[in-house]
Amino acid sequence: MEKPKIEDIASEYLDGDDLNNVLDFVKWLRAGKMTPTFGSKSKTGISYTTRVLFVKLFYGYWYIWISGKAKKGRYIEDFLACEELKEIVSESLPQCPGNCGHMCNNGLGFIVTVCGKKYERICGTCTVRFRSPNDEAISIIKNVIEKVNRE
């Protein structure tokens, strides 16, 4: 299977602001030495991975999924505590079982706290994810990643 660069295939999945946002985000990732590499492809989308996050393209929308493994979970912790993103983060928490497919903790998921508010039955694998983030959200996402990278 061919392993295309995300820049070469993004226009097959996205257009308009979403396409521009993902291409700008990928450019920023590369400049910060977090180069997205091909992960997998299915009928519905394509996935790329970096040491910090996953970029997932679907037809008409895209995701940024923050890795729970990078820096021993520090990225997840900082996103869960980020006041500027609390609405976006809490809206997109994946329920377990349900929309994550991981069956964490035997399908019971975990309790996750976002800026002081507790959420139950949350996937422990893909806790923080952003669906088609706008310019403002992407700017904040970049700031959180840069802050953790400096530590």
Instruction: List pLDDT tens digits, range 19-38.
Output: 999 999 999 999 999 999 99
**Residue 121 corresponds to which tokens in the numbers above?**
């039955």
Per-residue pLDDT, 75: 59
pTM surpassing 0.95? no
Contacts of residue 45, defined as CB under 8 A and 6 or more positions apart, other chains included, come to 13, 56, 57, 58, 59
From CA 103, how far away is CA 61, in angstroms rounded? 25
From CA 146, how far away is CA 16, in angstroms rounded? 27
- Express each pLDDT in 86-116 by its tens digit: 788 777 777 776 666 667 777 777 787 888 8
User: Phi and psi dihedrals of 68, rounded to 5?
Assistant: -80, -10
Average of per-residue pLDDT across 39-56: 86
